Amino acid sequence: MSEHAFYVPQDHLSFSTWRTVHHPRQALEMAHSRLLVVCCGFILIFLVIAVRLVDLGLFQGKEGGEGYRRHTTGIVSRANIVDRNGEVIATSLQTSSLYANARIVLDAKEAATKLVQVLPGLTYEDILRRLQSGKGFIWLARHLTPQKQAAIMRLGIPGLSFQQDERRVYPHGELFSHVLGYTNIDNKGLSGIEQKFDDFLNSQGSAFALSLDTRVQHVLRDELLAGIEKFKAQGGAGVVMNVRTGELLAMVSLPDFDPNQVGKMDPRHEALFNRITLGVYEMGSNFKIFTTALYLDKGGDVARTFDVTPPLRVGRFRITDIHPVYGAMTVAKIFTESSNIGMAKMALQFGGTSQRNFFEKLGFFKPLSLQIPELGSPLYPKEWSEATTITASYGYGVAVSPLHLVSAIGGIINNGVMVPPTLLKVDPTKGLKGKRIVSEKTSHRMRQLLHQVVAEGTGKKANVPGYQVGGKTGTANTLAGRSYKEGSNLTSFVATFPISDPQFLVLILVDRPQGIQETYGFNAGGWNAAPIAGLVIGRIAPLLQVMPLPNSPFGDGIAQFIPARIFE
Protein backbone atom coordinates (compact mmCIF):
# COMPACT_ATOMS: atom_id res chain seq x y z
CA MET A 1 0.00 0.00 0.00
CA SER A 2 1.13 3.45 -0.76
CA GLU A 3 1.66 6.00 1.90
CA HIS A 4 -1.50 7.73 3.33
CA ALA A 5 -1.62 11.32 4.30
CA PHE A 6 -3.61 12.15 7.50
CA TYR A 7 -4.45 15.50 8.96
CA VAL A 8 -2.90 15.63 12.34
CA PRO A 9 -3.44 18.90 14.19
CA GLN A 10 -0.51 19.77 16.31
CA ASP A 11 -0.36 21.87 19.40
CA HIS A 12 -2.78 24.77 18.81
CA LEU A 13 0.03 27.29 18.90
CA SER A 14 2.02 25.69 16.09
CA PHE A 15 1.03 25.43 12.42
CA SER A 16 -0.88 22.42 11.26
CA THR A 17 1.13 20.20 9.02
CA TRP A 18 0.57 17.04 7.02
CA ARG A 19 2.19 14.18 8.71
CA THR A 20 3.11 11.02 7.08
CA VAL A 21 1.82 7.88 8.61
CA HIS A 22 3.66 4.85 7.61
CA HIS A 23 1.12 2.17 8.32
CA PRO A 24 -2.68 2.04 7.70
CA ARG A 25 -3.23 0.15 10.94
CA GLN A 26 -1.67 2.99 12.83
CA ALA A 27 -3.99 5.39 11.02
CA LEU A 28 -7.11 3.39 11.90
CA GLU A 29 -6.20 3.32 15.56
CA MET A 30 -5.77 7.05 15.57
CA ALA A 31 -9.19 7.58 13.96
CA HIS A 32 -10.80 5.24 16.45
CA SER A 33 -9.48 7.05 19.47
CA ARG A 34 -10.50 10.43 18.06
CA LEU A 35 -14.03 9.18 17.44
CA LEU A 36 -14.19 7.99 21.03
CA VAL A 37 -13.22 11.41 22.35
CA VAL A 38 -15.90 13.13 20.26
CA CYS A 39 -18.50 10.59 21.35
CA CYS A 40 -17.64 11.15 24.99
CA GLY A 41 -18.01 14.87 24.47
CA PHE A 42 -21.48 14.49 22.97
CA ILE A 43 -22.58 12.07 25.66
CA LEU A 44 -21.50 14.56 28.30
CA ILE A 45 -23.46 17.40 26.70
CA PHE A 46 -26.61 15.29 26.36
CA LEU A 47 -26.22 14.13 29.92
CA VAL A 48 -26.19 17.76 31.11
CA ILE A 49 -29.31 18.48 29.08
CA ALA A 50 -31.02 15.37 30.45
CA VAL A 51 -30.20 16.27 34.05
CA ARG A 52 -31.48 19.78 33.52
CA LEU A 53 -34.68 18.42 31.98
CA VAL A 54 -35.33 16.14 34.92
CA ASP A 55 -34.53 19.00 37.28
CA LEU A 56 -36.99 21.34 35.56
CA GLY A 57 -39.66 18.73 35.17
CA LEU A 58 -39.61 17.30 38.67
CA PHE A 59 -38.16 19.88 41.04
CA GLN A 60 -38.30 23.41 39.66
CA GLY A 61 -41.80 22.88 38.29
CA LYS A 62 -43.41 24.01 41.56
CA GLU A 63 -42.57 27.62 40.86
CA GLY A 64 -45.05 27.67 38.04
CA GLY A 65 -47.75 26.27 40.30
CA GLU A 66 -47.17 28.98 42.86
CA GLY A 67 -47.42 31.54 40.12
CA TYR A 68 -50.93 30.39 39.45
CA ARG A 69 -51.85 30.50 43.09
CA ARG A 70 -50.48 34.00 43.48
CA HIS A 71 -52.88 34.95 40.73
CA THR A 72 -55.88 33.69 42.58
CA THR A 73 -55.40 35.71 45.75
CA GLY A 74 -55.38 39.44 46.08
CA ILE A 75 -58.55 40.36 44.24
CA VAL A 76 -58.17 43.72 45.87
CA SER A 77 -54.90 45.17 47.01
CA ARG A 78 -55.88 46.67 50.39
CA ALA A 79 -56.53 44.30 53.28
CA ASN A 80 -59.79 44.12 55.21
CA ILE A 81 -59.98 45.48 58.74
CA VAL A 82 -61.99 43.32 61.12
CA ASP A 83 -63.12 43.75 64.71
CA ARG A 84 -62.08 41.39 67.53
CA ASN A 85 -64.76 38.87 66.52
CA GLY A 86 -63.83 38.87 62.84
CA GLU A 87 -66.65 41.16 61.70
CA VAL A 88 -65.56 43.11 58.60
CA ILE A 89 -65.51 46.82 59.42
CA ALA A 90 -63.53 48.08 56.44
CA THR A 91 -63.14 46.39 53.09
CA SER A 92 -62.28 47.18 49.49
CA LEU A 93 -64.65 46.45 46.64
CA GLN A 94 -63.77 46.16 42.99
CA THR A 95 -65.26 48.86 40.86
CA SER A 96 -64.75 50.18 37.36
CA SER A 97 -63.50 53.62 36.53
CA LEU A 98 -64.04 55.36 33.23
CA TYR A 99 -61.20 57.05 31.40
CA ALA A 100 -60.80 58.49 27.95
CA ASN A 101 -58.05 58.82 25.40
CA ALA A 102 -58.84 62.28 24.06
CA ARG A 103 -56.78 61.67 20.93
CA ILE A 104 -59.08 58.85 19.80
CA VAL A 105 -62.40 60.48 20.69
CA LEU A 106 -63.90 61.46 17.33
CA ASP A 107 -66.71 63.80 18.22
CA ALA A 108 -66.15 65.31 21.68
CA LYS A 109 -69.46 67.24 21.67
CA GLU A 110 -71.54 64.19 20.85
CA ALA A 111 -69.65 62.09 23.39
CA ALA A 112 -70.15 64.70 26.11
CA THR A 113 -73.88 65.01 25.38
CA LYS A 114 -74.32 61.24 25.63
CA LEU A 115 -72.19 60.88 28.76
CA VAL A 116 -74.07 63.54 30.70
CA GLN A 117 -77.28 61.59 30.17
CA VAL A 118 -75.78 58.51 31.82
CA LEU A 119 -73.71 60.30 34.46
CA PRO A 120 -75.85 63.15 35.79
CA GLY A 121 -73.16 63.98 38.35
CA LEU A 122 -70.95 65.48 35.65
CA THR A 123 -71.52 68.71 33.69
CA TYR A 124 -71.48 68.94 29.91
CA GLU A 125 -68.89 71.76 29.84
CA ASP A 126 -66.55 69.90 32.14
CA ILE A 127 -66.59 66.70 30.09
CA LEU A 128 -66.24 68.62 26.84
CA ARG A 129 -63.22 70.52 28.13
CA ARG A 130 -61.58 67.29 29.24
CA LEU A 131 -62.31 65.44 26.01
CA GLN A 132 -60.90 68.31 23.94
CA SER A 133 -57.72 68.50 26.01
CA GLY A 134 -55.91 66.15 23.60
CA LYS A 135 -54.36 64.13 26.42
CA GLY A 136 -53.83 60.41 26.17
CA PHE A 137 -55.34 59.59 29.58
CA ILE A 138 -58.02 61.47 31.47
CA TRP A 139 -60.26 60.20 34.27
CA LEU A 140 -63.91 60.87 33.57
CA ALA A 141 -65.63 59.07 36.44
CA ARG A 142 -64.33 56.89 39.26
CA HIS A 143 -65.98 53.93 40.96
CA LEU A 144 -68.96 53.26 38.70
CA THR A 145 -71.66 50.72 39.45
CA PRO A 146 -71.99 47.77 37.04
CA GLN A 147 -75.27 49.25 35.72
CA LYS A 148 -73.60 52.57 34.88
CA GLN A 149 -70.71 50.75 33.28
CA ALA A 150 -73.07 48.73 31.09
CA ALA A 151 -74.96 51.88 30.12
CA ILE A 152 -71.75 53.63 29.06
CA MET A 153 -70.64 50.59 27.08
CA ARG A 154 -73.97 50.68 25.26
CA LEU A 155 -73.28 54.25 24.15
CA GLY A 156 -70.46 52.89 22.01
CA ILE A 157 -68.28 55.98 22.12
CA PRO A 158 -64.78 55.30 20.74
CA GLY A 159 -61.87 56.32 22.94
CA LEU A 160 -63.59 55.53 26.25
CA SER A 161 -62.29 52.61 28.31
CA PHE A 162 -62.69 51.19 31.77
CA GLN A 163 -60.04 50.38 34.26
CA GLN A 164 -60.48 48.04 37.20
CA ASP A 165 -60.35 50.10 40.34
CA GLU A 166 -61.08 49.51 43.98
CA ARG A 167 -62.90 51.52 46.53
CA ARG A 168 -62.72 51.47 50.33
CA VAL A 169 -66.09 50.65 51.86
CA TYR A 170 -67.11 50.90 55.52
CA PRO A 171 -70.18 48.67 55.91
CA HIS A 172 -71.09 50.18 59.29
CA GLY A 173 -71.02 53.78 58.14
CA GLU A 174 -70.35 56.23 60.98
CA LEU A 175 -69.85 53.59 63.68
CA PHE A 176 -66.04 53.44 63.55
CA SER A 177 -65.35 56.80 61.94
CA HIS A 178 -62.69 58.19 64.28
CA VAL A 179 -60.87 54.93 64.90
CA LEU A 180 -60.66 53.73 61.30
CA GLY A 181 -60.28 57.14 59.71
CA TYR A 182 -60.78 57.26 55.98
CA THR A 183 -58.99 57.05 52.63
CA ASN A 184 -58.91 59.30 49.60
CA ILE A 185 -60.17 58.29 46.15
CA ASP A 186 -56.86 56.53 45.41
CA ASN A 187 -57.19 54.44 48.59
CA LYS A 188 -54.49 56.25 50.52
CA GLY A 189 -55.22 56.39 54.25
CA LEU A 190 -55.70 59.95 55.47
CA SER A 191 -56.50 59.47 59.15
CA GLY A 192 -56.94 56.91 61.92
CA ILE A 193 -55.88 53.29 61.47
CA GLU A 194 -56.07 53.71 57.69
CA GLN A 195 -53.28 56.29 57.80
CA LYS A 196 -51.12 54.70 60.48
CA PHE A 197 -51.15 51.28 58.82
CA ASP A 198 -51.36 52.49 55.22
CA ASP A 199 -48.35 50.56 53.90
CA PHE A 200 -49.09 47.55 56.05
CA LEU A 201 -52.67 47.26 54.77
CA ASN A 202 -51.48 47.54 51.19
CA SER A 203 -48.87 44.81 51.58
CA GLN A 204 -50.87 42.39 53.72
CA GLY A 205 -53.22 39.80 52.29
CA SER A 206 -55.10 38.61 55.35
CA ALA A 207 -57.50 40.59 57.51
CA PHE A 208 -56.19 43.06 60.09
CA ALA A 209 -57.79 42.51 63.52
CA LEU A 210 -58.51 45.39 65.89
CA SER A 211 -59.36 45.21 69.59
CA LEU A 212 -62.76 46.85 69.02
CA ASP A 213 -66.02 45.01 69.49
CA THR A 214 -68.71 46.10 67.01
CA ARG A 215 -71.50 45.42 69.50
CA VAL A 216 -69.92 47.39 72.34
CA GLN A 217 -69.06 50.21 69.96
CA HIS A 218 -72.68 50.36 68.82
CA VAL A 219 -74.08 50.34 72.35
CA LEU A 220 -71.74 53.14 73.38
CA ARG A 221 -72.62 55.26 70.35
CA ASP A 222 -76.33 54.51 70.65
CA GLU A 223 -76.51 55.52 74.31
CA LEU A 224 -74.34 58.59 73.77
CA LEU A 225 -76.58 59.75 70.92
CA ALA A 226 -79.67 59.22 73.04
CA GLY A 227 -78.02 61.05 75.96
CA ILE A 228 -76.94 63.97 73.80
CA GLU A 229 -80.47 64.37 72.56
CA LYS A 230 -81.97 64.02 76.01
CA PHE A 231 -79.67 66.55 77.69
CA LYS A 232 -79.59 68.88 74.67
CA ALA A 233 -75.79 68.61 74.56
CA GLN A 234 -73.46 69.70 71.76
CA GLY A 235 -71.59 66.44 71.53
CA GLY A 236 -70.13 63.61 73.53
CA ALA A 237 -67.51 60.94 73.63
CA GLY A 238 -66.92 57.59 75.23
CA VAL A 239 -64.41 54.80 75.69
CA VAL A 240 -64.69 51.20 76.88
CA MET A 241 -61.40 49.59 77.83
CA ASN A 242 -60.37 46.18 79.08
CA VAL A 243 -58.11 47.22 81.97
CA ARG A 244 -56.29 43.88 82.10
CA THR A 245 -55.09 43.87 78.50
CA GLY A 246 -55.36 47.56 77.64
CA GLU A 247 -57.57 46.69 74.67
CA LEU A 248 -60.00 49.42 73.67
CA LEU A 249 -63.33 47.71 73.02
CA ALA A 250 -65.05 50.89 71.91
CA MET A 251 -64.10 54.46 71.21
CA VAL A 252 -66.69 56.99 70.07
CA SER A 253 -66.48 60.73 69.56
CA LEU A 254 -69.63 62.61 68.60
CA PRO A 255 -70.42 64.37 66.33
CA ASP A 256 -68.89 61.88 63.90
CA PHE A 257 -68.86 61.40 60.15
CA ASP A 258 -69.49 58.77 57.51
CA PRO A 259 -66.07 57.66 56.20
CA ASN A 260 -67.79 56.51 52.98
CA GLN A 261 -68.76 60.10 52.23
CA VAL A 262 -65.90 62.01 53.77
CA GLY A 263 -64.66 63.44 50.46
CA LYS A 264 -67.30 66.11 50.56
CA MET A 265 -66.35 67.38 54.01
CA ASP A 266 -64.27 70.35 55.07
CA PRO A 267 -61.04 68.94 56.58
CA ARG A 268 -61.39 71.31 59.54
CA HIS A 269 -64.93 70.19 60.28
CA GLU A 270 -65.65 69.62 63.97
CA ALA A 271 -66.92 66.10 63.26
CA LEU A 272 -63.44 64.99 62.16
CA PHE A 273 -62.01 65.91 65.59
CA ASN A 274 -61.39 62.93 67.86
CA ARG A 275 -62.17 64.20 71.36
CA ILE A 276 -60.91 61.04 73.02
CA THR A 277 -57.33 61.08 71.75
CA LEU A 278 -56.74 64.49 70.16
CA GLY A 279 -58.63 66.77 72.55
CA VAL A 280 -56.87 67.73 75.79
CA TYR A 281 -58.98 68.85 78.72
CA GLU A 282 -58.55 69.70 82.35
CA MET A 283 -60.37 66.65 83.61
CA GLY A 284 -61.64 68.12 86.90
CA SER A 285 -62.84 65.92 89.74
CA ASN A 286 -61.73 62.71 88.03
CA PHE A 287 -58.20 63.70 89.05
CA LYS A 288 -59.23 63.31 92.68
CA ILE A 289 -58.81 59.59 92.05
CA PHE A 290 -55.06 60.18 91.56
CA THR A 291 -54.73 62.51 94.54
CA THR A 292 -56.46 60.02 96.82
CA ALA A 293 -54.55 57.05 95.38
CA LEU A 294 -51.21 58.79 95.89
CA TYR A 295 -52.22 59.83 99.41
CA LEU A 296 -53.11 56.23 100.28
CA ASP A 297 -50.02 54.87 98.53
CA LYS A 298 -47.83 57.15 100.62
CA GLY A 299 -49.21 55.41 103.71
CA GLY A 300 -52.19 57.68 104.30
CA ASP A 301 -55.22 56.36 106.11
CA VAL A 302 -58.83 56.59 104.85
CA ALA A 303 -60.00 57.26 108.40
CA ARG A 304 -57.75 60.31 108.87
CA THR A 305 -59.70 63.58 109.02
CA PHE A 306 -58.97 67.00 107.50
CA ASP A 307 -60.58 70.31 108.33
CA VAL A 308 -62.55 71.34 105.26
CA THR A 309 -64.04 74.57 106.60
CA PRO A 310 -64.13 77.05 103.72
CA PRO A 311 -62.43 78.97 102.39
CA LEU A 312 -58.89 77.64 102.05
CA ARG A 313 -56.48 80.47 101.29
CA VAL A 314 -53.18 79.75 99.59
CA GLY A 315 -51.35 82.85 98.40
CA ARG A 316 -53.81 84.79 96.29
CA PHE A 317 -56.00 81.70 95.78
CA ARG A 318 -59.23 81.11 97.61
CA ILE A 319 -60.65 77.61 97.33
CA THR A 320 -64.24 76.78 98.10
CA ASP A 321 -66.55 73.79 97.73
CA ILE A 322 -69.89 73.60 95.96
CA HIS A 323 -71.45 72.06 99.07
CA PRO A 324 -69.42 73.63 101.90
CA VAL A 325 -68.98 71.64 105.09
CA TYR A 326 -67.82 73.29 108.29
CA GLY A 327 -65.56 71.01 110.30
CA ALA A 328 -63.60 67.84 109.81
CA MET A 329 -64.09 65.13 107.18
CA THR A 330 -62.49 61.71 106.69
CA VAL A 331 -60.42 61.04 103.58
CA ALA A 332 -63.06 58.55 102.40
CA LYS A 333 -65.76 61.16 102.68
CA ILE A 334 -63.63 63.85 101.07
CA PHE A 335 -63.44 61.53 98.07
CA THR A 336 -67.09 60.53 97.90
CA GLU A 337 -68.28 64.10 98.60
CA SER A 338 -65.69 65.43 96.14
CA SER A 339 -64.37 68.20 98.42
CA ASN A 340 -61.80 70.46 96.73
CA ILE A 341 -60.49 71.79 100.04
CA GLY A 342 -59.98 68.30 101.40
CA MET A 343 -58.13 67.24 98.23
CA ALA A 344 -55.91 70.33 98.39
CA LYS A 345 -54.97 69.51 101.98
CA MET A 346 -54.20 65.89 101.12
CA ALA A 347 -52.02 67.02 98.21
CA LEU A 348 -50.15 69.48 100.42
CA GLN A 349 -49.46 66.63 102.80
CA PHE A 350 -47.52 64.54 100.23
CA GLY A 351 -46.23 67.60 98.36
CA GLY A 352 -45.73 68.82 94.81
CA THR A 353 -42.67 66.75 93.94
CA SER A 354 -44.41 63.47 94.69
CA GLN A 355 -47.44 64.65 92.76
CA ARG A 356 -45.35 65.66 89.76
CA ASN A 357 -43.45 62.36 89.77
CA PHE A 358 -46.70 60.43 90.09
CA PHE A 359 -48.23 62.27 87.11
CA GLU A 360 -45.10 61.58 85.12
CA LYS A 361 -45.37 57.89 85.97
CA LEU A 362 -48.99 57.96 84.78
CA GLY A 363 -47.78 59.35 81.45
CA PHE A 364 -49.52 62.74 81.79
CA PHE A 365 -46.61 64.75 80.38
CA LYS A 366 -46.27 63.15 76.97
CA PRO A 367 -48.65 62.12 74.16
CA LEU A 368 -49.98 58.58 74.30
CA SER A 369 -48.60 55.95 72.00
CA LEU A 370 -51.71 54.66 70.30
CA GLN A 371 -52.11 53.19 66.81
CA ILE A 372 -53.69 56.28 65.29
CA PRO A 373 -51.97 59.53 64.31
CA GLU A 374 -54.46 61.84 66.06
CA LEU A 375 -52.84 62.18 69.49
CA GLY A 376 -52.98 65.33 71.58
CA SER A 377 -50.05 66.65 73.61
CA PRO A 378 -50.85 67.28 77.28
CA LEU A 379 -50.57 70.81 78.69
CA TYR A 380 -48.95 71.34 82.09
CA PRO A 381 -47.02 74.07 83.88
CA LYS A 382 -43.22 73.93 83.70
CA GLU A 383 -42.90 75.31 87.21
CA TRP A 384 -44.63 73.09 89.76
CA SER A 385 -45.64 75.66 92.39
CA GLU A 386 -47.75 75.13 95.48
CA ALA A 387 -50.70 76.60 93.59
CA THR A 388 -50.18 73.98 90.87
CA THR A 389 -50.13 71.22 93.46
CA ILE A 390 -53.42 72.43 94.87
CA THR A 391 -55.26 72.96 91.57
CA ALA A 392 -53.92 69.73 90.08
CA SER A 393 -55.18 67.83 93.15
CA TYR A 394 -58.75 68.42 91.99
CA GLY A 395 -58.03 68.31 88.27
CA TYR A 396 -57.17 71.80 87.05
CA GLY A 397 -53.95 73.21 85.65
CA VAL A 398 -53.02 69.96 83.92
CA ALA A 399 -54.75 69.10 80.64
CA VAL A 400 -54.62 65.58 79.26
CA SER A 401 -56.59 63.64 76.68
CA PRO A 402 -59.52 61.56 77.96
CA LEU A 403 -57.62 58.44 76.95
CA HIS A 404 -54.75 59.43 79.26
CA LEU A 405 -57.31 59.52 82.05
CA VAL A 406 -58.77 56.14 81.10
CA SER A 407 -55.35 54.54 80.91
CA ALA A 408 -54.26 55.88 84.32
CA ILE A 409 -57.51 55.06 86.13
CA GLY A 410 -57.39 51.64 84.49
CA GLY A 411 -54.00 51.15 86.13
CA ILE A 412 -55.23 52.21 89.55
CA ILE A 413 -58.14 49.77 89.56
CA ASN A 414 -56.23 46.92 87.85
CA ASN A 415 -54.44 46.00 91.07
CA GLY A 416 -52.15 48.97 90.50
CA VAL A 417 -50.72 47.78 87.17
CA MET A 418 -51.17 50.17 84.26
CA VAL A 419 -51.36 48.47 80.84
CA PRO A 420 -50.98 50.89 77.91
CA PRO A 421 -54.13 51.22 75.79
CA THR A 422 -54.10 49.56 72.39
CA LEU A 423 -56.38 49.34 69.36
CA LEU A 424 -54.96 46.00 68.24
CA LYS A 425 -56.24 42.65 69.39
CA VAL A 426 -54.09 41.30 72.21
CA ASP A 427 -53.28 37.67 72.71
CA PRO A 428 -53.64 37.33 76.49
CA THR A 429 -51.50 34.21 76.61
CA LYS A 430 -48.50 36.26 75.60
CA GLY A 431 -46.93 38.37 78.32
CA LEU A 432 -48.62 41.72 78.87
CA LYS A 433 -46.41 44.71 79.43
CA GLY A 434 -47.73 46.61 82.40
CA LYS A 435 -46.26 49.14 84.81
CA ARG A 436 -46.91 49.21 88.53
CA ILE A 437 -48.15 52.65 89.59
CA VAL A 438 -49.68 52.00 93.01
CA SER A 439 -49.68 49.07 95.41
CA GLU A 440 -52.31 46.34 95.35
CA LYS A 441 -53.58 47.52 98.70
CA THR A 442 -54.09 51.06 97.42
CA SER A 443 -55.86 49.68 94.35
CA HIS A 444 -58.21 47.71 96.58
CA ARG A 445 -59.01 50.74 98.75
CA MET A 446 -59.60 52.89 95.66
CA ARG A 447 -62.06 50.34 94.31
CA GLN A 448 -63.94 50.43 97.59
CA LEU A 449 -64.07 54.22 97.45
CA LEU A 450 -65.17 54.23 93.79
CA HIS A 451 -67.93 51.77 94.61
CA GLN A 452 -69.00 53.98 97.48
CA VAL A 453 -69.41 56.94 95.08
CA VAL A 454 -71.87 54.89 93.02
CA ALA A 455 -73.57 53.19 95.95
CA GLU A 456 -74.08 56.31 98.05
CA GLY A 457 -72.45 59.38 96.53
CA THR A 458 -72.56 61.53 93.41
CA GLY A 459 -72.57 58.61 90.98
CA LYS A 460 -75.76 56.91 92.16
CA LYS A 461 -77.35 57.17 88.73
CA ALA A 462 -74.65 54.95 87.23
CA ASN A 463 -75.63 52.03 89.42
CA VAL A 464 -76.69 48.88 87.62
CA PRO A 465 -78.08 46.21 89.94
CA GLY A 466 -76.00 43.06 89.69
CA TYR A 467 -72.95 44.51 88.03
CA GLN A 468 -71.13 46.16 90.94
CA VAL A 469 -70.31 49.49 89.37
CA GLY A 470 -67.76 51.90 90.77
CA GLY A 471 -67.04 55.35 89.41
CA LYS A 472 -66.36 59.04 89.76
CA THR A 473 -67.96 62.14 88.31
CA GLY A 474 -66.08 65.09 86.88
CA THR A 475 -66.32 68.25 84.85
CA ALA A 476 -63.65 68.87 82.25
CA ASN A 477 -62.79 72.31 80.95
CA THR A 478 -61.54 72.97 77.46
CA LEU A 479 -58.56 75.27 77.33
CA ALA A 480 -58.51 77.88 74.59
CA GLY A 481 -55.11 79.53 74.73
CA ARG A 482 -54.49 80.73 78.27
CA SER A 483 -58.08 81.18 79.35
CA TYR A 484 -61.07 78.90 79.77
CA LYS A 485 -63.38 78.69 76.83
CA GLU A 486 -66.72 79.88 78.07
CA GLY A 487 -69.53 77.36 77.97
CA SER A 488 -67.48 74.51 76.62
CA ASN A 489 -67.18 72.19 79.53
CA LEU A 490 -67.53 68.45 79.37
CA THR A 491 -69.22 66.64 82.19
CA SER A 492 -67.77 63.23 82.65
CA PHE A 493 -68.21 59.95 84.42
CA VAL A 494 -65.66 57.21 84.64
CA ALA A 495 -67.06 53.84 85.66
CA THR A 496 -65.61 50.41 86.21
CA PHE A 497 -67.20 47.02 86.68
CA PRO A 498 -67.31 44.54 88.29
CA ILE A 499 -65.66 46.55 91.07
CA SER A 500 -64.65 43.49 93.12
CA ASP A 501 -62.36 42.35 90.30
CA PRO A 502 -62.43 45.07 87.64
CA GLN A 503 -62.23 44.07 84.01
CA PHE A 504 -63.73 47.00 82.17
CA LEU A 505 -63.57 50.75 82.36
CA VAL A 506 -66.14 53.05 80.79
CA LEU A 507 -65.61 56.78 80.30
CA ILE A 508 -68.50 59.00 79.24
CA LEU A 509 -68.05 62.66 78.30
CA VAL A 510 -70.96 64.96 77.52
CA ASP A 511 -70.25 68.32 75.91
CA ARG A 512 -72.25 71.26 77.31
CA PRO A 513 -75.30 69.37 78.61
CA GLN A 514 -78.25 71.45 79.77
CA GLY A 515 -80.31 71.09 82.88
CA ILE A 516 -83.66 69.54 82.02
CA GLN A 517 -86.82 69.00 84.02
CA GLU A 518 -85.89 65.44 84.86
CA THR A 519 -82.56 66.52 86.36
CA TYR A 520 -84.20 69.43 88.26
CA GLY A 521 -82.17 71.83 86.16
CA PHE A 522 -78.80 70.42 87.25
CA ASN A 523 -76.17 69.85 84.59
CA ALA A 524 -73.33 68.23 86.55
CA GLY A 525 -71.79 64.91 85.55
CA GLY A 526 -73.76 62.93 88.13
CA TRP A 527 -76.99 63.92 86.38
CA ASN A 528 -76.10 63.20 82.74
CA ALA A 529 -72.80 61.37 82.19
CA ALA A 530 -73.42 58.94 85.10
CA PRO A 531 -76.82 57.66 83.92
CA ILE A 532 -75.45 57.23 80.39
CA ALA A 533 -72.57 55.18 81.82
CA GLY A 534 -75.11 53.09 83.76
CA LEU A 535 -77.15 52.41 80.62
CA VAL A 536 -74.03 51.48 78.67
CA ILE A 537 -72.86 49.07 81.38
CA GLY A 538 -76.31 47.49 81.66
CA ARG A 539 -76.20 46.66 77.97
CA ILE A 540 -72.56 45.68 77.47
CA ALA A 541 -72.02 43.61 80.62
CA PRO A 542 -74.03 40.61 79.31
CA LEU A 543 -72.24 40.92 75.95
CA LEU A 544 -68.88 40.87 77.71
CA GLN A 545 -69.98 37.84 79.71
CA VAL A 546 -69.78 39.46 83.09
CA MET A 547 -71.81 37.37 85.50
CA PRO A 548 -74.21 39.44 87.62
CA LEU A 549 -73.75 38.96 91.38
CA PRO A 550 -76.54 39.49 93.87
CA ASN A 551 -74.59 40.62 96.93
CA SER A 552 -72.59 43.70 97.79
CA PRO A 553 -68.96 43.46 96.67
CA PHE A 554 -67.28 44.77 99.82
CA GLY A 555 -69.54 43.92 102.72
CA ASP A 556 -69.73 47.11 104.77
CA GLY A 557 -66.06 47.52 105.48
CA ILE A 558 -65.69 51.03 104.16
CA ALA A 559 -68.92 52.30 105.67
CA GLN A 560 -67.42 53.00 109.08
CA PHE A 561 -65.31 55.78 107.61
CA ILE A 562 -68.24 57.58 106.03
CA PRO A 563 -70.45 58.45 108.93
CA ALA A 564 -73.98 59.71 109.29
CA ARG A 565 -75.67 61.53 106.48
CA ILE A 566 -75.34 59.37 103.41
CA PHE A 567 -75.86 56.16 105.36
CA GLU A 568 -79.20 57.05 106.86
Partner 1 sequence: MQRSTLLLALCALIVGAALFKLKYKVVDLEQQLAQTVAMIRQEEKNIHMLQAEWSHLNDPKRLQMLAHQLDIGPVRATQVIAFLPSQEKKTEAAPQPQLASLHEAP
Summarize as ranges the residues that interact with partner 1 (CB under 8 A).
68, 71-73, 75-76, 80, 87-89, 91, 93-94, 169, 171-173, 175, 214-215, 218-219, 222, 440-441, 444, 464-467, 500-501, 538-539, 541-542, 547-551, 553-555, 557
Shorter beta-carbon distance to partner 1: residue 402 or 538: 538
- Whole-number minimum distance, CB 91 to partner 1, in Å? 5
- Closest CA relative to residue 480, chosen from 328, 338, 344, 279: 279
Determine contact, residues 273/279, Cβ cutoff 8 Å.
yes
What gap in Å lies between CA 465 and CA 549, rounded to an integer?
9
Look at residue 491 and give its three-state secondary structure.
strand
What gap in Å lies between CA 568 and CA 563, rounded to an integer?
9
Give Dmax (Cα) for the chain: 147
What is the DSSP secondary structure assignment for residue 59, as one 8-state letter? I
* Strand stretches in 203-266, DSSP E: 208-209, 235-242, 248-254
- Whole-number minimum distance, CB 220 to partner 1, in Å? 11
What gap in Å lies between CA 551 and CA 447, rounded to an integer?
16
- Whole-number minimum distance, CB 501 to partner 1, in Å? 6
Shorter beta-carbon distance to partner 1: residue 461 or 512: 461
At residue 402, what are phi and psi to the nearest 5 degrees? Answer: -55, -30
Determine contact, residues 67/132, Cβ cutoff 8 Å.
no
Shorter beta-carbon distance to partner 1: residue 173 or 351: 173
Shorter beta-carbon distance to partner 1: residue 390 or 508: 508
Q: 522-545: string of b/e by CB count within 10 Å (b at 16+)?
A: ebbbbbbbbbbbbbbbbbbbeebe
At residue 90, what are phi and psi to the nearest 5 degrees? Answer: -150, 130
Task: Say which residues have a Cβ less than 8 Å from residue 314's Cβ, sequence separation at least 6.
Answer: 344, 386, 387, 390
Residue 55: other Cβ atoms inside 10 A: 11
Shorter beta-carbon distance to partner 1: residue 310 or 553: 553
Helix axis angle, 402-413 to 440-455, nearest 10°: 110
Based on the residue annotation, tell me whether 285 is a catalytic residue of this protein: yes
Look at residue 526 and give its three-state secondary structure.
coil
Residue 35 belongs to what H/E stretch?
Answer: helix 24-54
- Whole-number minimum distance, CB 254 to partner 1, in Å? 14
Shorter beta-carbon distance to partner 1: residue 12 or 69: 69
- Whole-number minimum distance, CB 481 to partner 1, in Å? 39
Amino acid at 437: I
- Whole-number minimum distance, CB 549 to partner 1, in Å? 5
Rounded to 5°, angle at Cα 18 from 15 and 19: 110
Shorter beta-carbon distance to partner 1: residue 131 or 193: 193
What gap in Å lies between CA 59 and CA 77, rounded to an integer?
31
Residue among 97, 285, 338, 393 flagged as catalytic: 285
Look at residue 358 and give its three-state secondary structure.
helix
State how far Cα 526 lies from the chain centre: 29
- Whole-number minimum distance, CB 90 to partner 1, in Å? 9
Determine contact, residues 370/350, Cβ cutoff 8 Å.
no
Q: How many helices (H) and strands (E) does the chain have?
A: 17, 20
- Whole-number minimum distance, CB 387 to partner 1, in Å? 36
- Whole-number minimum distance, CB 16 to partner 1, in Å? 35
Shorter beta-carbon distance to partner 1: residue 158 or 542: 542
Shorter beta-carbon distance to partner 1: residue 448 or 491: 448
Residue 125: other Cβ atoms inside 10 A: 10
Just list the catalytic residues. 285
